[in-house]
């Protein structure tokens, strides 16, 4: 087996997380598959790279050598790829829209509007739960725009040099089975959900911390938080096993209801980001305008929420004022 960059990323991930299991989760791989891959890497290099016990995985002397070289090679190759992608895209004249995001309430409508208005445009989408990955792909010229969200007053990370605009601010709601004892209320106090089990979609941002802080302010710690994809979240709520936080424009599902949390203890800000020096920056105003219109379209199936927005103008559609971000601040 020839050693490749992806193998070095595996070694670095294990070293950074201190565990093969945690590294597998970070890389989106099954733990047995990552273990087998590590064994092949070790056979290629001629010896064990990690000492593994109940406390985790620690690099051997050989592992330290490989890590030292990998930490030089990987950033250098990343820089080469980013510069090559930026240079290759500098002369792009045809309309091209490459969006990255996941679980966005407006992505479908945004793509539909752009495709209808520009039938010759090339439009692609890329799904990732990792906000950092999306930002890196945009910064490297492999995506044009990132659609993501941040909680509360958080701002996206400035580490990737992206320009960010706020599309909308929505209160976070709770998803309940329609048979739930609190389902007949217009809004639910977070404290009244203190005995519930919860389910949430994966992600690498701060929203878990925001939720935990909101629960602490309400006087409790969540009993249990399952992690599942969107379909899994819906199934667990429908089964009565858990309740879930959801976006205000969550598509209605038979048998389930969305309810506002009293006092809006959690807010979700929908953001659009791009690199200011990329070809995509020339079309950013058009994409932002289309995103704002798409958000308005998303409100149509939610007349009760639309009426609430009219009474609460600090929420909903935002202006196009740039969002100021600070280096080192994590995204949600």
Which DSSP helix (H) or strand (E) runs through 26? Answer: helix 20-27
Distance CA 135, CA 144 (A): 10
The whole-chain average pLDDT of the chain stands at 88
pLDDT in tens, 158-199: 778 999 999 999 999 999 999 999 999 999 999 999 999 999
pLDDT surpassing 60 at residue 329: no
pLDDT tens-digit series, residues 103-119: 788 999 999 999 999 98
Whether the CB-CB separation of 297 and 182 falls below 8 Å is answered with: no
User: CA-CA distances (angstroms) from residue 233 to 28, 84, 223?
Assistant: 19, 40, 16
pLDDT of residue 327: 46
Q: What is the model's pLDDT at position 202?
A: 81
**Higher pLDDT residue, 321 or 13?**
13
pLDDT of residue 86: 64
Per-residue pLDDT at 87: 62
Q: Which residues of 151-184 are buried (b: 16+ CB within 10 A; e: fewer)?
A: bbebbbbebbebbbbbbbbbbbbbbbbeebebee
Q: Higher model confidence: residue 306 or residue 54?
A: 306
As given in the structure block, the two tokens for residue 34 are 């990552």
Q: Among 68, 12, 18, 17, which residue's Cα sits nearest to residue 41?
A: 12
pTM: 0.68
**212-221: pLDDT as tens digits:** 999 999 999 9
Q: How far lies 86's CA from each of 37, 91, 199, in Å?
A: 32, 10, 40
Q: Is the pLDDT reported for residue 90 higher than 60?
A: no
Which is more confident, 219 or 34?
A: 219
Angle 107-117/284-298 helices, nearest 10 degrees?
120
pLDDT at position 178, please?
96
Residue 79: what pLDDT?
82
Type and span of the H or E element at 6: helix 5-17
């Amino acid at each position: 087996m020839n050693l490749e960059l992806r193998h070095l990323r595996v070694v670095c991930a294990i070293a950074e997380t201190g565990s093969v299991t945690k590294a597998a989760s970070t890389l989106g791989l099954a733990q047995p598959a990552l273990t087998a891959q590590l064994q092949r890497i070790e056979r290629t290099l001629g010896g064990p790279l990690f000492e593994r016990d109940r406390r985790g995985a620690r690099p051997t002397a050989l592992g330290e050598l490989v890590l030292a070289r990998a930490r030089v090679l990987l950033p250098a190759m990343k820089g080469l790829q980013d510069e090559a992608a930026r240079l290759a895209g500098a002369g792009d004249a045809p309309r091209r829209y490459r969006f990255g995001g996941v679980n966005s309430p407006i992505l479908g409508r945004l793509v539909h509007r752009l495709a209808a208005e520009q039938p010759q445009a090339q439009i692609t989408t890329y799904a990732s739960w990792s906000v950092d990955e999306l930002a890196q792909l945009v910064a490297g010229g492999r995506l044009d725009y990132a659609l993501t969200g941040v909680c509360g007053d958080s701002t996206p990370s400035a580490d990737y040099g992206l320009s960010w605009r706020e599309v909308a601010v929505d209160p976070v709601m709770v998803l309940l089975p329609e048979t739930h004892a609190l389902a007949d209320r217009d809004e639910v106090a977070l404290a009244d959900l203190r005995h519930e089990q919860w389910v949430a979609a994966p992600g690498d941002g701060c929203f878990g911390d925001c939720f935990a802080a909101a629960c602490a302010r309400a006087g409790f710690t969540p009993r249990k938080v399952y992690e599942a994809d969107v379909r899994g979240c819906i199934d667990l709520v429908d089964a009565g096993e858990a309740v879930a936080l959801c976006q205000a424009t969550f598509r209605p599902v038979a048998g389930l209801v969305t309810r506002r949390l009293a006092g809006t203890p959690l807010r979700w800000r929908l953001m659009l980001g791009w690199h200011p020096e990329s070809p995509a920056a020339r079309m950013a105003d058009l994409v932002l305008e289309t995103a704002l219109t798409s958000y308005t379209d998303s409100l149509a199936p939610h007349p009760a929420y639309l009426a609430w927005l009219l009474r609460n103008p600090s929420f909903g559609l935002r202006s196009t004022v740039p969002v100021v971000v600070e280096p080192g601040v994590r995204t949600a």
